[in-house]
């Protein structure tokens, strides 16, 4: 755990940053994000190198130069996402009228109106935080799984902000039973499932033609409750504060009765759907993730006390 003075310094620095960003007009936000993101790209060379390596590994860039171009834009997108979160109230008031929800969101709204529980699988793509805020505005019964921040003051600030915008936050460690209760109460569940998972809580899938271990919690929830499962993301559509709601589903498989095989098939199904969305614009996904097996930057398992993962909890719930 970090020393208390460092935790306080982080929090104070964060609140100062909020004040500074608050002075930036929305019309200048994109330019500030571009300048800051490009600077971060050149300064944070270990993360930059990892993103470039992953783009080459996934086959989306044939040359180092091509991979570097995509990676730099990824840094800008991440910076813009962070700035939009800090100015979320203003961005939401501007974005709610410029989001192209089209038919997909209407279908999700119909399911919510029918008092039927549903599962949304999403990714760190476009502006994923704004997507959850918009879900909270339009679909108020949403339970979002999250990993608490290491800094308790920052975690409290962000949690209050999310909950004020319609989300019900579910800490990852205690997620299983709460998510099952939410679905059985005919409410919605949102899970980010684009990161590398531990062996005990994931299944081997194919992502961009390479092996990756993916969280099976969404698949386990669907198999246990029968709730419809969708893949969704909020994609930037070129102009500032204009987004497109990208949607796939409902995803279905022909159940075999073998829970392990069925969970594997479902997990691959939403992994492939996420890949399809990322391929539409690779610059909007976080290529910094340690996502794949077999790549040199793959995440090493942590040592220490083993925590009971969501998938195991679901089996026993």
- pLDDT tens digits for range 174-195: 788 889 988 888 888 899 999 9
Quick check: 239 pLDDT over 50? yes
Instruction: Give pLDDT, residue 152.
Output: 85
Residue 143 within a domain: yes
Residue 92 has pLDDT above 80, yes or no: no
Q: Band of the pLDDT at 68, cuts 50, 70, 90?
A: very high
Distance from chain centroid for Cα 209: 21
Residue 169 lies in a domain: yes
Average pLDDT, the chain: 83
Percent of the chain residues topping a pLDDT of 90:
39
pLDDT of residue 34: 95
Better-predicted residue by pLDDT, 313 or 207: 207
User: In DSSP terms, which residues pair with 204 in a beta bridge?
Assistant: 213
Tokens of 185: 């109460």
- Judge whether residue 298 has pLDDT over 50: no
Mean pLDDT (whole number) for 14-26: 85
Number of domain units in the chain: 1
**Helix (H) or strand (E) run with residue 163 in it:** helix 152-164
183 located within any domain: yes
Q: Is residue 199 part of a domain?
A: yes
In this structure, is residue 314 part of a structural domain? no
How far from 226 is each of 97, 147, 183, 218, 252, CA to CA, in Å?
34, 26, 9, 11, 10
pLDDT cut 70: percent of the chain above it: 81
- CB of 81 closer than 8 Å to CB of 284: no
Has residue 311 been placed in a domain?
Answer: no
| Per-residue confidence (pLDDT) for residue 23, from 0 to 100 | 86
Task: Answer yes or no: is 9 within a domain.
Answer: no
Strand partners, 215: 202
Q: Has residue 15 been placed in a domain? A: no
CA separation for the pair 164, 158 (Å, rounded): 10
Neighbouring-strand partners of residue 267: none
Choose the weakest-confidence range: 6-15, 48-57, 103-112, 139-148: 103-112
222: Cβ contacts below 8 Å, ≥ 6 apart = 119, 228, 229, 266
128-138 and 64-86 helices, crossing angle to 10°: 40
Are the C-beta atoms of 99 and 130 separated by less than 8 Å? no
Range of the domain at 114: 26-298
Asked if the bond preceding 14 is cis, omega within 30° of 0, the reply is: no
Residue 297 has pLDDT above 60, yes or no: no
């Amino acid at each position: 755990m970090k020393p208390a003075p460092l935790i306080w310094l982080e929090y104070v620095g964060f609140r100062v940053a909020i004040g500074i960003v608050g002075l930036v007009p929305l019309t200048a936000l994109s330019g500030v994000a571009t300048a800051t993101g490009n600077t971060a790209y050149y300064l944070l060379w270990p993360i930059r190198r990892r993103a470039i390596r992953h783009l080459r590994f996934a086959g989306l860039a044939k040359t180092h130069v091509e991979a570097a171009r995509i990676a730099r834009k990824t840094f800008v997108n991440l910076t813009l996402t962070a700035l939009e979160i800090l100015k979320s109230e203003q961005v939401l008031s501007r974005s709610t009228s410029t989001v192209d929800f089209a038919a997909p969101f209407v279908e999700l709204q119909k399911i919510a109106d029918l008092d039927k529980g549903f599962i949304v699988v999403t990714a760190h793509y476009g502006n994923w935080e704004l997507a959850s805020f918009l879900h909270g505005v339009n679909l108020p019964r949403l339970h979002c799984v999250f990993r608490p921040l290491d800094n308790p003051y920052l975690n409290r600030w962000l949690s209050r902000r999310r909950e004020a915008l319609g989300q019900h936050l579910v800490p990852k460690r205690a997620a299983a039973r709460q998510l099952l209760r939410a679905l059985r109460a005919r409410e919605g569940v949102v899970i980010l499932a684009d990161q590398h998972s531990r062996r005990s809580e994931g299944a081997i899938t194919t992502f961009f033609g390479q092996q990756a271990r993916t969280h099976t919690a969404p698949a386990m929830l669907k198999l246990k409750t029968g709730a419809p499962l969708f893949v969704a993301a909020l994609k930037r559509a070129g102009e500032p504060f204009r987004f497109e709601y990208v949607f796939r589903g409902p995803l279905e498989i022909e159940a075999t009765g073998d829970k392990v095989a069925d969970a594997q098939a479902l997990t691959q199904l939403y992994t492939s759907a996420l890949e399809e969305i990322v391929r539409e614009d690779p610059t909007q996904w976080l290529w910094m993730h340690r996502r794949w097996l077999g790549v040199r930057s793959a995440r090493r398992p942590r040592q220490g006390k083993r925590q009971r993962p969501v998938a195991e909890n679901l089996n026993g719930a």
